[in-house]
Amino acid sequence: MKYRSFGNLEFKPSALGFGAMRLPTLGADPSRIDEEKAIRMIHYAVDNGVNYIDTAYPYHKGESEILVGKALKGKYGKKVKLATKLPSWLIEKESDFNRFLDEQLEKLKIDHIDFYLLHSLNKEKWQNLSRLSVFSWAEKAIRDGRIGCLGFSFHDKYEVFKEIVDGYDRWAFCQIQLNYMDEDFQAGRKGLKYASQKGLAVVVMEPLKGGRLANPPKAVKKIFEKADKKRTPADWALQ
């Protein structure tokens, strides 16, 4: 496994993290996670050097955090850093911050979340969380040990991304969508560089565009076929 630098933090994450948004299920209901298979997958990833696990409050209709908590019980939890996310769209009043964080800690069966993200920020959610003094709350949660570092995931235009990055001087990291088909989509490469220049660590979501780049368009396949080095489409996407 290769490891990367991570903004201004001392932590060295594996080049590949493990996202718990699309775990195997028993049938079509996303809430019915195939627990045995999913835990085996997470353990395999950790055993082979993955040290960053990502989940969120709504994944698998609320069941992902519970599954991840089970997978990281005992020795596996000591080998990784865990990221989960505040459901920003459900925040209506200041007391909601603690309510959701404490619920997540209970679901995960832990008392500390290493990396906590404000989930899926756009202009509207950003304005609402700012109005409710999210940073004052988050800094208290960091001081009392429930949160290690604060970051955000993002879905809006680059101009909004820049506003959010500049809107708080203690961001540790952010998560953006980026793949070779979406270099200028949302934050894009421009946002990647801007965040890095500001000292933020950057986590990339959707490097395979939700799995679709494992079987890319024919025009893309033809380009790959001309390359001297042969890789699978998924490998090209991760490269």
Whether the Cβ atoms of residue 119 and residue 87 lie closer than 8 Å to each other: yes
Asked whether 87 and 50 are in contact (CB, 8 A), the reply is no
The catalytic site residues sit at 59
CB atoms closer than 10 angstroms to residue 5: 11
Q: Which helix (H) or strand (E) holds 85?
A: strand 81-86
Residue with tokens 């396949």: 221
Beta-carbon-side half-sphere exposure of residue 57 (alpha carbons within 13 Å): 21
Q: Which residue has the tokens 């409710």?
A: 132
Q: How far apart are CA 12 and CA 27, in angstroms?
A: 37
Here the tokens at position 178 are: 């980026």
Q: Tell me if 74 sits within 8 A of 88, measured CB to CB.
A: no
**Residue 58 and residue 86 in contact, taking contact as beta carbons nearer than 8 Å:** no
